[in-house]
Amino acid sequence: EDLEESIALHREALALRLVGHTGRSMSLNNLAVQLSIRFDHRGNAKDLEESIALNREALALCPVGHTNRSTSLNNLANQLSTRFHHRGNAEDLEESIALHREALALCPVGHTDRSKSLGNLSNQLSTRFDHRGNAEDLEESIALHREALALHP
């Protein structure tokens, strides 16, 4: 299957980018994305857990100021959100929101990824509203969605 081959090739690429290699964070993120896709298709929790672990490692390699930090933040946040939806652990949702807030802070007005970051954070706040019923989450979610929509007249 193509997905299995893709995962195998991404594992090989990662093996070539040892700790200290400038492209290691990108290889970690790429493999994590493929494992996430496989999780979506097959539902194997091991794939999701490995994806989260790889995303955490990738983020650790992207300190503040690193060009891939926003991507790493969003990827990890999205995987934590997925795990929240499957397991219901509120800590995953809270961490996802915090990571999306940090990613948004890295995307000032005019940044090409701002709309995506606004949408990601808005969606997580809406999810938290659904589970907790806090009106502030809903209000912030709506405001963020409106800002994202305004970026695409």
Mean pLDDT of 6-24: 95
CATH number of the domain to which 112 belongs: 1.25.40.10
Cα distance between residue 84 and residue 88, in whole Å:
5
Asked whether the predicted pLDDT for residue 145 surpasses 90, the reply is yes
Cα distance between residue 32 and residue 55, in whole Å:
6
Radius of gyration of the CA atoms of the chain, in A: 16
Mean pLDDT of 49-70: 95
The total domain count for the chain is: 1
User: Is this model's pTM higher than 0.75 or not?
Assistant: yes
- Residue 65 backbone zone (phi > 0: left; psi -120 to 50: alpha; other: beta): left
- Average confidence score pLDDT of the chain: 96
Reported as a single tens digit per residue, the pLDDT across 84-99 is 999 999 999 999 999 9
Task: Decide: 31 and 55 in contact? Cβ < 8 Å.
Answer: no
Query: Domain range for residue 145?
Result: 2-150
Asked whether the predicted pLDDT for residue 1 surpasses 90, the reply is no
State how far Cα 94 lies from the chain centre. 13
What does DSSP assign to residue 88?
-
